[in-house]
Amino acid sequence: MWKYLFFLLFSFSFCNGQAFLEPRFKRQIKKIPVFKEAFLAVSISELETSEPLVSINDNKFMTPASNTKLLTYLAAIQNFDSLPSLYYSIKHDSVIKFKSSGYPLLLHPFYPDTDLTNFFKQDYNFEYVPPSVFPKSQGPGWSWDDYSYYYASERSPFPIFGNAFGITKVNNEIKTLPSGVEFILKNDSLAPAALRDKNSNLFEINPLRLNEGDTLYRPFITSDSLFVKLLGDALGKKIKLSTPEYKSVWIPLYTGAEELLYRGLLQNSDNGIAESLLLMIALKSSGIFSEEKTIELMQKKWSRWTPDPFIWVDGSGVSRYNMFTPRSLVAVLKEIYRTSSWDQIKTLFPSGGVSGTLKSYNVKQVYGKTGTLRHNHNLSGYLITKRGKILVFSLMVNHFTSPTSDIRAAIGELLNWLKRKVK
């Protein structure tokens, strides 16, 4: 009799099936006050199994914010072995025509592709051939008043400088990179540090709100003419706008900076990179820049393993039109693992308490992607338990009014509990 009871207790303590773990997880949620006024949806499973360990509202469609970048990343690594940074055609010995692949790292302030920059330093005259068709500069469902913030930099065929001006206070003077920005100084303690006019590249800058040496990045309004001017100024040579020639042979220039780009996408959650990647995939698959084409392609390709369809409209998650279920994000994470490798995940994803957007999380051995919009915060990724088991999870918290830092701390508390309890 005692042996039988001991066996039952032993089995209970080490069994991690849904029937055992989920009730305990729910009790843990009830102990955390901030979840009482929020809508929480959770999906947790082991990496190599299909059955969930925890499924709480996991079939509900939630606002993913930058969790959207998980889909963008998966689409990119499934479509590209190597990323083309541009396409070029040698017109004659002295002229090279080039056109865009959608690649976003030309003279980027945070992750510049030096190989691409060196390509333009060759002793040639360069002529840029812009695409005949390109989507709107702002994505669907983007807030109209985000235009002046770096996270909403414009989409363009050939991003340059991250499509943003850097504004720096040096020796009490205002400097911009690239130079030549039109700005007026506004010494008003109540005025924003830097604000761009909605319809022009005129900036109001308040030096009183800038610390010495600090740099703010503000998006500029893009155009083909501004692109060739900025590139020419940076190179010290004139870049011409041109048209394709009949029967031009376009040669791809492949980048060696894939890891740099993907780290920018995942660790720093760069929205411009995310938008560019969807456009690059569309150009490769359909011949035109269209995020809708990429989304349609991937929805069809992924339909066999996703439990729910994605309501998916942009690459970055800036749009509030996006809606995903937690269990679908878990399926995406498992597919990322199958497509890449565990070493790549640990290298490219933010790491809890260590790097990227998870640096502020008090959880070790978690690799994941955060997603934050006002009143919404999510974390989806991989968690290594105390016994070395890899869990795949999506914790999505929508419709809260507490400070996001409190939600972040609460999610960290749940993950640390999981690390201890899952055997």
Residue 16 pLDDT class (50, 70, 90 cuts): low
Query: Domain check: are 372 and 404 in the same one?
Result: yes
Q: Are residues 286 and 355 in the same domain?
A: yes
Q: Rounded to two decimals, what is the model's pTM?
A: 0.94
- The DSSP bridge pattern shows strands 173-177 and 202-205 to be unpaired
Number of domains in the chain: 2
Q: What angle do CA 284, 287, 291 make, to 5 degrees?
A: 75
Query: Quick one: pLDDT at residue 4?
Result: 44
Within 8 A by CB and 6+ apart from 279, the residues are 102, 135, 155, 289, 290, 291, 294, 315
DSSP category for residue 248 = -
Query: b/e per residue, 331-342, with b = 16+ CB within 10 A?
Result: bbbbbbbeebee
Task: Answer yes or no: are the C-beta atoms of 252 and 99 closer than 8 Å.
Answer: no
> Is the same domain home to 113 and 243?
yes
Residue 199's SS3 state is coil
Is 2 domain-assigned? no
231 and 301 in a single domain? The answer is no
Q: Is residue 218 part of a domain?
A: yes
Please list the residues that pair with 170 across neighbouring strands: 173
Mean pLDDT, range 57-76, rounded to an integer: 98
For 396, the enclosing helix (H) or strand (E) is strand 390-398
CATH number assigned to the domain comprising residue 407: 3.40.710.10
Per-residue pLDDT, averaged over 9-18, amounts to: 50
Whether residues 242 and 313 share a domain: the answer is: no
User: Has residue 268 been placed in a domain?
Assistant: no
The CA R_g of the chain, rounded to the nearest whole Å, is 24
Same domain, 207 and 115: yes
Q: Which domain holds residue 354?
A: 14-77+276-421
For 157, phi and psi rounded to 5 degrees? -60, -40
Strand partners for 392: 45, 382
- Report pLDDT digits (tens) over 88-126: 999 888 999 999 999 999 999 999 999 999 999 999 999
- Rounded to whole angstroms, the Cα distance separating 108 from 96 reads 22
208-229 average pLDDT score:
94
Structure tokens at 286: 């359909």
CA distance 271 to 274: 5
List C-alpha distances in Å: 270 to 163, 178, 237, 363, 395. 12, 20, 30, 23, 21
285 in a structural domain: yes
Distance CA 418, CA 146 (A): 37
Tens of pLDDT, residue by residue over 251-264, are 999 999 999 999 99
Distances in whole angstroms, Cα of residue 238 to Cα of each of 89, 105, 127, 191, 225: 18, 21, 9, 38, 12
Do 135 and 237 lie in a common domain? yes
- What are the pLDDT digits (tens) for 159-217? 999 999 999 999 989 999 998 788 999 988 889 999 999 999 999 999 999 999 989 99
Considering the domain architecture, whether residues 403 and 388 belong to the same structural domain is answered as yes
The DSSP string of 284-340 is HHHSS--HHHHHHHHHHHHTTT-SS--B---SSS--TT-BB-HHHHHHHHHHHHHHS
Give residue-wise pLDDT tens across range 149-175: 999 999 999 999 999 999 999 998 999
| Domain contains 9 | no
Same domain, 391 and 283: yes
Does 126 fall in a domain?
yes
Is residue 113 domain-resident? yes
Does 6 map to a domain?
Answer: no
Strands 125-128 and 95-100: parallel
Tell me the CB-side half-sphere exposure of residue 327, using CA atoms within 13 A.
16
Provide the token pair at 128: 């840029």
Q: Are residues 324 and 244 located together in one domain of the fold?
A: no
76 three-class SS: helix
Longest dimension (CA), the chain: 92
